[in-house]
Amino acid sequence: MSAEEIFEQRMRLGRLFDIYGSLLTDKQRACLSLYFYDDLSLSEISEELGVSRQAVHDLLKRVEQILERYELALGVLAQEEALHQKLHEVMGLLGCDDREKKDEAVRILQKICGEGR
């Protein structure tokens, strides 16, 4: 796995943690919080939690699988990404002088607003 892929995976895991973190146990949340927000190494986390480095590694892998299962079942991150993509499309359309493109932007926004009901 390339450095870019590792970075993308870490960013995805962080976003999943932001979305679904409240569904985790206190210990799982504490471990991921130390890993993401405090940027501690596995060794530093193991000292903080009073467990082995291997236990921290195993916990992080297990929690990653749990978060991916939540996303598979609920799809909140996918919905957020789709909305973000639509909003970028709207911004591009609104930047044009073409009236038809601006009308299309309005239709997209109306659809987005209607989906929230």
Q: Look up residue 29 and give its two tokens.
A: 């949340």
- Is 114's pLDDT higher than 90? no
**pLDDT by residue (tens digit) across 32-56?**
999 989 999 999 999 999 999 999 9
With 0-12 / 13-18 / 19 or more C-beta atoms within 10 angstroms meaning exposed / middle / buried, residue 21 is middle
Higher pLDDT among residues 73 and 96, named by residue: 73
pTM: 0.81
- Is 116's pLDDT higher than 60? no
Domain total of the chain: 2
Tell me, yes or no, whether 98 and 48 share the same domain. no
**pLDDT by residue (tens digit) across 85-102?**
999 999 999 888 889 988
Tell me, yes or no, whether 85 and 110 share the same domain. yes
Tell me, yes or no, whether 70 and 31 share the same domain. yes
Range of the domain at 40: 3-74
